[in-house]
């Protein structure tokens, strides 16, 4: 008797359970969006609450096409979206406004099916017209956008045409291996709001949707709607009630009711605000790690350690005959000289003194944060003064009895090292490097200067000897083409070459040309693995260290997962929730 | 007097012209231009940068850029900011009120406290109170503003009595008017104290020195001999005479009301003109810098004029033709 009732209980529970959305793997759906995107990672949250975060600078514009710095692009990233997006947990491209796509056999024709039911914040439907319009805006002469450069291959633009209301087709002039990565950075803007503006021409369009625009005009498709902007103080967003993303149970996201970005121009004040619980998420600097951990209990937060940062810092020696003359040109163009310098640099001292121990030595151009492309098999340069001296001796350099290193012609090795004085970390690194190289007998004069002066020398006069500087990086190395291709204007050690000056630079050119037209990421990885090995052997840029990231996240928050590639944005903001009723 | 004022106002024109010329010239002397940061971005092509240079007019020689700017100013068109792409006048208008509030509050704080304290220090010379006030004054003059601001922010964090910088709370819009006033006042405390104490220290010492000098004079002895009460002698007679140089200082401070205190504003996060100016200067945002400079210069010149007039009003010995 009891057994039979129990069995019925089980059957009925299973039946009821299967009615729950998503339980039997049924498709989750919303009344207005037949095929919403489902967040697979993370927990199910609760609705409500206001998340407050801080940023250092004011946004400069609210026009997503025209933004050039993160202080503007991050606030807009919550409002505007692209056809595809990069999931920063997996670092893979995922559908966003487009729900699926296919590429034809010629690898040049991409067809995207757009998500139905997506609406702009003012209620109008998102359609193919908006995508075509966005393309028109990007390629209108006079519009100041970096998107145009990204979508132009060998002078020819990527074109788009509308197939039907929810389908668009792109044609790339050549096989565009990283087309999806490029698309992830192009925000789609509403035709019905910006038609008039673009009709007035590119120059006028640049001024459209400036920071003096009433926020209700900034109509996007994103999880948050900008409600208010008080210059110099804060940006306030409200939840988008028509958002097209759901959690695993079918609940429409975002969970948060309100989202606020405070503008706090001072790093110390920003940190104090986090510790005083005025903001709930904060990116600590590496040397603040110990303090951050110590304050966890009192501040009710946890320090999320998310691994190495995405960018790189390096020392570059000038190999440009237009900017530097023999004998210095002869030293810097000698690979053994550069390798000796790399062996002499005490990267551990840099990690300890500049980053409080929270940094690891870096030898190649890709940071370990790039889990897919990072090649650990690059040549390593653990500190070894004897090896450095040996290499110098092989190159004909001799250290005299007076301790001065001299080249084969007898010239003493002396040069000027520079960096931008505003960056205190680079200045500290410069001092350490200067002392390290002094042990080899090199006389290095360290002279930091203003950022503008440095840039003028790097890309204008080429009149410099050695510089410490860094580069930010995205998950796709192709975006660094301007740095690595010998014809690039940011090929710092010898820019804008008419033809490659060395064999290895020619090989790197071939790698980047080929990678650009390789669609399969695994084949791209093979090419980039080789690139990283070449760079670690030839050392046009002598990499130093990569700092680790550490983020403070209040314990009352759920689903916050920062990434070194988020550049300050709470990239999964629609998933974030407060575990208890707000404050 | 009217003729004098009219003459001073007419003098403003060549003065402003000279100021604009020198400012523009000095900005051109600094290397680089607004586009330097973009030049180091690997994604932006050199062609795009050249296009931007042309659209901002940065490819023209310096004197052409200056003349273009001058022509627009004469039509009261302050131009567009490079980095913000909004009219300079709108940008300034968003910050003007904030800076005014802060400057006036610091001014009031400094002056209403400095004068009585200075008078007290003078009338009770070398007493314990005077010595303590002297020490505090020297402290106030020596501590750099940014450090003092950081210190106060840290104290605010430790005690929880005051908000940590900023100008308004996040729920400011939803408060009734009187709570709004209190909120603003609470945010004003730290920057006012930082800015006010520096001036207060100076003023207090100045007031004390002047009072000491005036109190030695014969007419004070006469007044006392005639039987006037101590307070009347001090306040109605001595202070009125001692305060002359401070009036000039006041006029100058009035002129500086719009320049903003950049460093303090940045540390405390007060959204004022100082922040805007520093940022524009560092980014070489020509039109914005020139717009702000012109406004500050006008205020300074008017401030000087007011100082001179106040002096004439307070001291009958001073007359202008």
- Are A362 and A545 in contact, with CB atoms under 8 Å apart? yes
Of all residues in chain A, the one with the smallest CA distance to B51 is A142
Per CB-CB distance under 8 Å, the chain A contacts of B264 are: none
Please tell me the distance in Å from B63's CA to the nearest CA on chain A.
21
Per CB-CB distance under 8 Å, the chain B contacts of A230 are: 168, 271
**Contact yes or no for B43 and A146 at CB 8 A:** yes
Per CB-CB distance under 8 Å, the chain A contacts of B95 are: 231-232
The length of chain A in residues reads 583
Residue B246 above 80 pLDDT? yes
Of all residues in chain B, the one with the smallest CA distance to A260 is B170
**Contact yes or no for A231 and B46 at CB 8 A:** no
Q: Give the residue from B29, B35, B37, B43 with the most A CB atoms within 10 Å of its CB, the best one to mutate.
A: B43
CA distances from A119 to A12, A113, A123, A239, B44 (A): 39, 16, 5, 14, 32
The 8-class DSSP code of residue A124 comes to P
Q: What angle do CA A466, A467, A473 make, to 5 degrees?
A: 135
Please tell me the distance in Å from A107's CA to the nearest CA on chain B.
24
> Smallest Cα–Cα separation from B259: which of B211, B292, B306, B222?
B292
> Smallest Cα–Cα separation from A227: which of A219, A237, A217?
A237
pLDDT at residue A3, as a whole number: 58
* Dist CA B80 CA B87 (whole Å): 4
**Contact yes or no for B87 and A459 at CB 8 A:** no
Q: Give the residue from B27, B34, B35, B36 with the most A CB atoms within 10 Å of its CB, the best one to mutate.
A: B36
For A276, the closest of B164, B173, B275 (CB atoms) is B164
The ipTM is 0.86
**Contact yes or no for B167 and A232 at CB 8 A:** yes
Per CB-CB distance under 8 Å, the chain A contacts of B83 are: 60
* Dist CA A469 CA A313 (whole Å): 6
CA torsion angle A86 A308 A524 A179 (round to 10): 30
Please tell me the distance in Å from A150's CA to the nearest CA on chain B.
7
Neighbours of A290 (CB within 10 A): 11
CA distances from B17 to B8, B20, B73 (A): 15, 5, 11
**Cβ contacts of B270 within 8 Å, gap of 6 or more:** A232, B98, B102, B165, B166, B167, B187, B191, B264
* Dist CA B41 CA B22 (whole Å): 32
pLDDT at residue A10, as a whole number: 65
The 8-class DSSP code of residue A328 comes to H
| C-alpha dihedral sign at A73, A74, A76, A79 | positive
Taking residues B108-118, what's their average pLDDT?
89
* Dist CA A258 CA A269 (whole Å): 23
Q: Give the residue from A76, A153, A232 with the most B CB atoms within 10 Å of its CB, the best one to mutate.
A: A232
Q: Which residue has the higher pLDDT, B88 or A4?
A: B88
CA torsion angle A330 A332 A338 A342 (round to 10): 140
**Contact yes or no for A68 and B41 at CB 8 A:** yes
**Contact yes or no for B267 and A236 at CB 8 A:** no
**Contact yes or no for A489 and B46 at CB 8 A:** yes
**Contact yes or no for B86 and A207 at CB 8 A:** yes
Of all residues in chain B, the one with the smallest CA distance to A146 is B44
Q: Which residue numbers in chain A have pLDDT < 50?
A: none
**Contact yes or no for A230 and B272 at CB 8 A:** no
Per CB-CB distance under 8 Å, the chain A contacts of B167 are: 232-233
CA–centroid distance for A547 within its chain: 15
Please tell me the distance in Å from B81's CA to the nearest CA on chain A.
10
**Contact yes or no for B52 and A144 at CB 8 A:** yes
pLDDT at residue B137, as a whole number: 81
Please tell me the distance in Å from B94's CA to the nearest CA on chain A.
7
**Contact yes or no for A233 and B271 at CB 8 A:** yes
Neighbours of A311 (CB within 10 A): 16
**Contact yes or no for B85 and A60 at CB 8 A:** yes
Please tell me the distance in Å from A332's CA to the nearest CA on chain B.
22
> Smallest Cα–Cα separation from A302: which of A96, A28, A583, A554?
A554
Please tell me the distance in Å from A325's CA to the nearest CA on chain B.
24
Please tell me the distance in Å from B203's CA to the nearest CA on chain A.
30
**Contact yes or no for A490 and B150 at CB 8 A:** no
Please tell me the distance in Å from A151's CA to the nearest CA on chain B.
11
pLDDT at residue A2, as a whole number: 58
Three-class secondary structure of residue B159 per DSSP: helix
Of all residues in chain A, the one with the smallest CA distance to B88 is A212
* Dist CA B98 CA B91 (whole Å): 12
């Amino acid at each position: 008797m009891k057994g039979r009732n129990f069995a019925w209980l089980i059957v009925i529970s299973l039946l009821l359970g299967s009615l729950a959305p998503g339980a039997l793997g049924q498709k989750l759906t919303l009344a207005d969006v037949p095929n919403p995107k489902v967040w697979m990672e993370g927990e199910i949250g609760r609705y409500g609450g206001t998340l407050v975060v801080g940023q250092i600078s004011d946004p400069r514009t609210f026009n997503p096409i025209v933004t050039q710095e993160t202080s503007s692009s991050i606030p807009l990233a919550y409002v505007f979206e692209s056809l595809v997006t990069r999931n920063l947990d997996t670092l893979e491209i995922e559908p966003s406004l487009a729900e699926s796509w296919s590429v034809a056999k010629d690898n040049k024709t991409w067809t995207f099916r757009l998500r139905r039911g997506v609406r702009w914040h003012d209620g109008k439907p998102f359609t193919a017209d908006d995508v075509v319009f966005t393309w028109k805006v990007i390629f209108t002469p006079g519009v100041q956008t970096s998107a145009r450069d990204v979508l132009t291959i060998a002078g020819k633009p990527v074109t788009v045409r509308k197939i039907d209301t929810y389908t668009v087709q792109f044609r790339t002039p050549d096989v565009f291996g990283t087309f999806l990565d490029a698309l992830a950075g192009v925000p789609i803007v509403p035709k019905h709001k910006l038609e008039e503006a673009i009709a007035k021409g590119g120059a006028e369009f640049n001024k459209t949707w400036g920071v003096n625009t009433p926020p209700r005009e900034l109509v996007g498709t994103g999880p948050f709607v900008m409600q208010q902007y008080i210059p110099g103080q804060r940006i306030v967003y409200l939840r988008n009630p028509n958002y097209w993303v759901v959690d695993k149970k079918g609940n429409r996201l975002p969970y948060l009711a309100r989202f606020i970005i405070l503008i706090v121009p001072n790093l110390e004040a920003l940190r104090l605000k986090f510790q005083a619980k005025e903001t709930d998420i904060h990116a600590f600097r590496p040397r603040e790690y110990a303090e951050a951990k110590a304050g966890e209990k009192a501040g009710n937060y946890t320090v999320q350690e998310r691994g190495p940062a995405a960018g790189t810092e390096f020392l570059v020696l000038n190999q440009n005959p237009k900017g530097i003359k023999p004998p210095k040109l002869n030293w810097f163009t000698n690979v053994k000289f550069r390798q000796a310098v790399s062996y002499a640099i005490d990267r551990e001292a840099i990690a300890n003194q500049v980053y409080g121990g929270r940094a690891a030595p870096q030898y190649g151009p890709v940071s370990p944060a790039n889990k897919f492309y990072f090649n650990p098999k690059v040549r390593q340069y653990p500190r070894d003064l004897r090896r450095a001296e040996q290499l110098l001796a092989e190159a004909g350099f001799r250290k005299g009895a007076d301790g001065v290193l001299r080249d084969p012609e007898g010239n003493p090795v002396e040069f000027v090292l520079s960096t931008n004085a505003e960056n205190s970390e680079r200045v500290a690194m410069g001092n350490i490097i200067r002392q390290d190289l002094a042990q080899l007998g090199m006389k290095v004069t360290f002279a930091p200067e203003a950022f503008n002066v440095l840039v003028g020398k790097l890309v204008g006069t080429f009149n410099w000897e050695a510089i410490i500087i860094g580069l930010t990086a995205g998950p796709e190395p192709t975006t660094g083409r301007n740095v690595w291709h010998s014809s690039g204007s940011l090929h710092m050690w010898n820019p804008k070459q008419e033809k490659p000056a060395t064999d290895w630079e020619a090989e790197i050119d071939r790698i980047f040309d080929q990678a650009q037209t390789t669609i399969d990421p695994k084949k791209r990885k093979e090419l980039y693995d080789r690139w990283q090995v070449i760079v670690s052997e030839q050392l046009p840029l002598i990499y130093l260290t990569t700092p680790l990231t550490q983020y403070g996240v209040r314990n009352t928050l759920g689903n916050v997962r920062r990434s070194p590639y988020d550049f300050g944005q709470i990239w999964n903001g629609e998933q974030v929730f407060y575990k208890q009723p707000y404050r | 007097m009217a003729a004098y004022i009219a003459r001073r106002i007419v003098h403003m024109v060549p003065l402003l012209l000279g100021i604009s010329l020198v400012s523009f010239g000095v900005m051109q002397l600094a290397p680089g231009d607004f586009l330097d940061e973009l030049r180091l971005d690997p994604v932006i092509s050199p062609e795009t940068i050249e296009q931007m240079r042309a659209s901002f007019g940065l490819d023209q020689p310096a004197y052409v850029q200056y003349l273009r700017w001058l022509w627009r100013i004469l039509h009261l068109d302050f131009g567009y900011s490079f980095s913000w792409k909004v009219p300079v006048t709108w940008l300034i208008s968003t910050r003007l009120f904030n800076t005014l509030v802060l400057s006036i509050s610091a001014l009031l704080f400094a002056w209403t406290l400095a004068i009585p304290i200075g008078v007290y220090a003078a009338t009770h010379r070398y007493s314990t109170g005077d010595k303590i006030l002297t020490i505090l004054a020297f402290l106030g003059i020596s501590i750099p503003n940014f450090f003092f601001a950081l210190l106060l922010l840290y104290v605010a964090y430790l005690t929880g009595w005051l908000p940590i910088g900023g100008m308004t709370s996040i729920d400011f819009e939803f408060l009734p008017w009187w709570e709004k006033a209190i909120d603003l006042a609470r945010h004003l405390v730290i920057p006012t104290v930082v800015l006010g104490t520096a001036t207060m220290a100076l003023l207090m010492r100045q007031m004390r020195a002047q009072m000491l000098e005036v109190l030695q004079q014969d007419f004070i002895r006469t007044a006392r001999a005639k039987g006037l009460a101590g307070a009347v002698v001090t306040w109605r007679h001595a202070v009125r005479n001692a305060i002359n140089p401070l009036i000039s200082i006041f006029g100058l401070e009035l002129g500086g009301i719009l320049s903003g205190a950049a460093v303090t504003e940045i540390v405390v996060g007060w959204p004022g003109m100082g922040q805007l100016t520093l940022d524009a200067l560092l980014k070489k945002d020509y039109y914005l810098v020139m717009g702000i400079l012109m406004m500050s210069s006008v205020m300074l010149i008017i401030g000087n004029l007011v100082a001179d007039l106040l002096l004439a009003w307070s001291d009958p010995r001073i007359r202008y033709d």
